[in-house]
Structure 1
Amino acid sequence: MAQETDFSFNVPPEFEKITKNIKSIAIGLVAVLVIFSSFYTVETEEVGVITRFGKYVSKAQPGLNFKVPFIDQVQYVPVRRQLKDEFGYRTASAGVNSTYRKAGYGGESLMLTGDLNLADVEWVVQYRIDDPYNYLFKVRNPDETLRDISETAMRQIVGDRTVDEVITIGRAEVASEAELIIQQICDEYELGIKIEQLVLQDVNPPDPVKPSFNGVNQAQQQRETLINQARADYNRVIPRAAGEADQTIQQAEGYALDRVNTSEGEVSRFNDLYSEYIKAPEVTKTRIFLETMEDILPKMGQKIITDDKGNSVIPLLQLQMNGAKVKANNDGGTP
C-alpha cells in the first residue's frame, strides 16, 4: 500500500504575530480614515455645500459638521467674504503701499466712446456670493461669466457717452449705471452673486494722445477759472452799484418828501396869514412890516436914514443894537 506524502509545514509563531499586528494596524488606519472623513470644519466666512454622488444635499454652517464618509463631498463657498474682479490692471502686492501691474491687460480697458474716441478705463467690481447653490450649480464658471458680464456692460455704457463725459463729469454716473446693469444680468443668469460696488479706478486717454488731451484739459480749466473770476467780480461790483442806486433813490425820495412838506407848510402858513389879513388888513400889514424889518435890519450893519425929501438926516444909528432891542421888546424881554 502506497504511503501519502505530507506537504504541511509549521508557521513560525513570530510570523503569525506580525500578521496579526498588520491586520490590527490596517483596521486602525481604516477606522481613523473613516473618522477623519466623517467630520469637517467650515470656517467663519464660509458655508459648506454637501453633494452626494454629485447631487446637492444640504448646506453646512460654520463649525464642526458630520458627513457620510467617502460618499458625501463638501465644497466651501466664501459667502461672507468680499471678492473683487479687476479690469485693466492687477494687484501685484496688497498692503499699505500696494503695487499694481498693467502690462498685458490693456485689451480689457481700452474702449471706444460714443464720439469715436478711445478711452483707457480701469475699474474694479466688488461682490459677494449670496446664494451658494446658484453659484455652484446654475452656471458653469460663474467667475468667468461675471467678468464677461462686467466688461460687456462697461463697454455698452462707455459707448453711449463722449470721451469727455467718461473721463471728467460722467464718471460717477458711468459707475452707478454699470453696477445696475451687471446686477440685473447676474439676477437673470441666477449667478448667486450680489454686486456691492463698482469703482472706476482710473480713466485716461490712450498714451499716444495724452499730451494733447492734457492741453485741452488745461485750457478748459483756465476757461473755468476766468469764468469764476468774472462771476466773482460781477458779484462784488453789481450788488455795490445796486446798493448805491438804492441809496440815491432813497435820498431823492427823502428830498422830494421834504420839499413837499416844506411847501405844504408854507402854503398853510400863507393861508393862515391871509385869513388874519382879511380880518384886519392894516394891523396885519404893520405886523408883517415890523417882523420883516426885524429880520433885515440886524444884517445891514451901520446905516444913515433920511426922509423921502431929504430934509432931515437921522444921525448914524447902531441899528444892529436897536434891532436887537426891538426884537427883545417884541419877545417880551428887557430892552
Structure 2
Amino acid sequence: MEKVEKNKEIHTASLSETLQSFEKSLGFKNKIKWNNVIIIVLYHVIGIYWSYKYAFPAKWQTLVFALAMFVFNGVGIGAGVHRLWTHRAFKVNLPFHLILLAAYASAGQNSIYEWVLDHRVHHKYSDTDGDPHNANRGLFFSHIGWLMSKKNEHVLSGGKQIDMSDITDDPLLRFYNKYFAYMKLIFCYILPFYINVYLLGETWQCTIAWQWFIRFLCAFHGELTVNSLAHTFGSRPYNKEIVPTQNKFVSLVTLGEGTHNFHHAFPYDYRSGEQFDYFNFNTFLIDMFSKIGWAYDLRAATPAMIDSVSQRLGDGTRINRSRMTHAETEKE
C-alpha cells in the first residue's frame, strides 16, 4: 500500500515538474491554470461543433432573442459592473439596481467582487506587472491568456491594497455574491433556454447553439477586446503617454466601452467616453433612466477639463468640440 502511495507521489511530482518545464519553455511568467485552460478550450471546441451542427435553421425570433440577450449582457457588464459598481460613476434606485444585477448575471462572468477587484487593480497598475491583464505581455495574454494563468505576486499584493468595502458592506451585493453561482446558472443558461424553447418554440439543440454558445461567447470575447484591442489599436487623443486607446470596433461590440483612452484619463466619468463618432448605448441607457429618476448623481468631467487634458497630453487627434461649437454659434 505504501509503495502504491509512493508511486502516486512520484507520478504527481513528475507531472508537476513536466508542466512547469513546459510553461517555462513557452515563456510564461505566470503559472498556467490548467483546469481553466481545459474548460476554456473545451467550451470553444464544443461550441463551434455544436453551432456548426445545430445553429441553422433557426427561427427569426431566436436570432432576435439572441441579439437582445447580447445587449442585455453588454448592459450588465458596461453600465453595471464597470461604470456603477467598479467606478461608482453614478447611483441607481432599487429597480434599476435589480435590472443591472440580472443583466450582469446573464453574462456569465466572475462574481461582482472578483470583477471589481481585478478592474480596480487594472486601473491602479495599468499595463505594468501589477495589472491582471497587462497589455505589454501581448495580445493573447491581455485578451484571454490572463484567465488561463495564476496571478503573479505583483497583482496579488496590489489587490490587497484595494478598498472593496463598498462591495462587501452592501447587503444586496453581499447576498448576490454569496449566491452568484445560482444567479449565473439561472439568468445565463436556464431562463434563456426556457424562453427560447417553451415561449418561442425553438428546438432545444438550436437554442443551446444560440444561447449557450454563440450569444455567450460573443459577449465574452466582446468584453475581452477592451483589455486587448483597446490597449493595442487606435488613437490616444486624451493621453498619449498611456497604453489604452480609442477603438470604434470595441465600442460597437461592447455597447460603448471602446473609448478607452478617455476612460483611463477620466475613470470616474459615467459616460466612459465622449459620444461624437463612437457608439455608446450604455451612456444612452443611463441618460434615459436618469430622466425618470432611476439613475442620479451622474459624475462627469467638464468640457473645460477634457479640453485642457487633451491639449496637454493628447496625441492631437481630438477635435476640440466645445470650441468648434462656440465658433459655429458666433458665426450664426
Q: TM-score, normalised by structure 2?
A: 0.18
Q: Report which of the two structures shows the higher radius of gyration computed on alpha carbons.
A: 1
User: Which structure has the highest helix share of the two?
Assistant: 2
Using CA pairs below 8 Å that are at least 6 residues apart, which structure has the higher relative contact order? 2
Structure with bigger strand share is 1
